[in-house]
Amino acid sequence: MNDYIIVTPVRNEEDYFGKTLESVANQTIKPKEWIIVNDGSTDKTPDLIDDYRSQYSWIKRVDRPQNDHRPGPGVVLAFYDGFEKRTDKNFDFVIKLDADLSFEPDYFEFLLNEFAQNPKMGMASGTTYNVFGENLVIDKMPEDHVRGAAKMYRKECFDQIGGIQVVLGWDTLDELKAQMLGWETRSYKHLVLKHYKPIGFKQKNTLKRELLAGERLNYLGYHPLFAILKCFYNLRRKPFLVGGALMFAGYLGAVLGGGEKNPDKEMVKFYRKKQMKRLSEMVGFSK
């Protein structure tokens, strides 16, 4: 029951993908198949894929010339291009893995053991630590938030939630759906995922990036108070002050402009309840 497959969308990652390739190749428990989706790369990324593919029979390359570069939906569409072309349909776990990470050789072995010990575990990951020179800065998130950069799904959970949605914020929506269905989700702080291109660096246009982040808050159905606090917190992150202000502008614009919202009202209600519980715990109101 340890058969797992990996799907990795990759575009122009020649500077970092070698680290990810080496990390997977060195795993103590190898994947049944690793489908790497070359999503219109114009650098040497395809050569890196072919080099490792020649060494490992379980690596498969899929080319996707008609690519969609929208943050969120684009990467999910690339994921499905690879997932649908998997050779073997029989597997126990599926991982959506980014191409700018490195991790220890026992990364997947640890997760597989956790899944084996807890039948209710639906999805899990390590914790991303952003790499800035010689420094590692933890990407602070709640323990039940599974990182989209290296997300491992139990097949039954993946099927029950209907897979990954082709929307901005997919990595929050899928875990909320899983939790509503009774599955547990978990990220492990000691399981280090070195992230060489943090989210903010993948979208170089600061204005567009932060406005989209604000629109995402509206789509996911953030409680207004929690959304405002999120924007306020973002004032402390680079670019200082500007990022939080732009996020709030994106959020407010989406709210007032009738921006698209998650149509699942029960999920929105569930999410807001979680946010307010977390807020009460943060300020010491919980018992």
Percent helix, strand, coil in the chain (nearest 5)?
A: 40, 20, 40
Which residue is listed with tokens 């050779």?
87
What's the N-to-C CA distance of the chain in angstroms?
40
Backbone angles phi, psi at 202, to 5 degrees: -75, -30
Q: Count CB neighbours of 207 within 10 A.
A: 12
Q: How far apart are CA 135 and CA 26, in angstroms?
A: 24
Q: How far apart are CA 216 and CA 228, in angstroms?
A: 13
C-alpha 79, offset from chain centre: 12
**Which of 73, 2, 66, 4 has its CA nearest to residue 38?**
66
pLDDT score of 66: 63
Per residue of the chain (287 residues), give pLDDT as tens: 789 999 999 999 999 999 999 999 999 999 999 999 999 999 999 999 999 999 999 999 999 986 666 667 889 999 999 999 999 889 999 999 999 999 999 999 999 999 999 999 999 999 999 998 889 999 888 999 999 999 999 999 999 999 999 988 899 999 999 999 999 999 999 999 999 987 654 445 678 888 998 999 999 999 999 999 999 988 877 777 888 999 999 999 999 999 999 999 999 999 999 999 988 887 765 44
On whether the CB atoms of residues 248 and 254 are closer than 8 A, the answer is no
On whether the CB atoms of residues 45 and 11 are closer than 8 A, the answer is yes
pLDDT score of 161: 97
pLDDT score of 70: 66
On whether the CB atoms of residues 98 and 47 are closer than 8 A, the answer is no
pLDDT score of 170: 93
**Which of 76, 28, 92, 84 has its CA nearest to residue 60?**
84
Map out the domains of the chain with their CATH numbers. Answer: 4-200 (3.90.550.10), 203-282 (no CATH)
pLDDT score of 76: 93
How large is the angle between the packed helices 242-256 and 206-220, nearest 10 degrees?
Answer: 50
**Which of 132, 135, 167, 162 has its CA nearest to residue 148?**
167
What type of residue sits at position 233? Y
C-alpha 159, offset from chain centre: 18
Q: Which two tokens stand for residue 39?
A: 């999503």
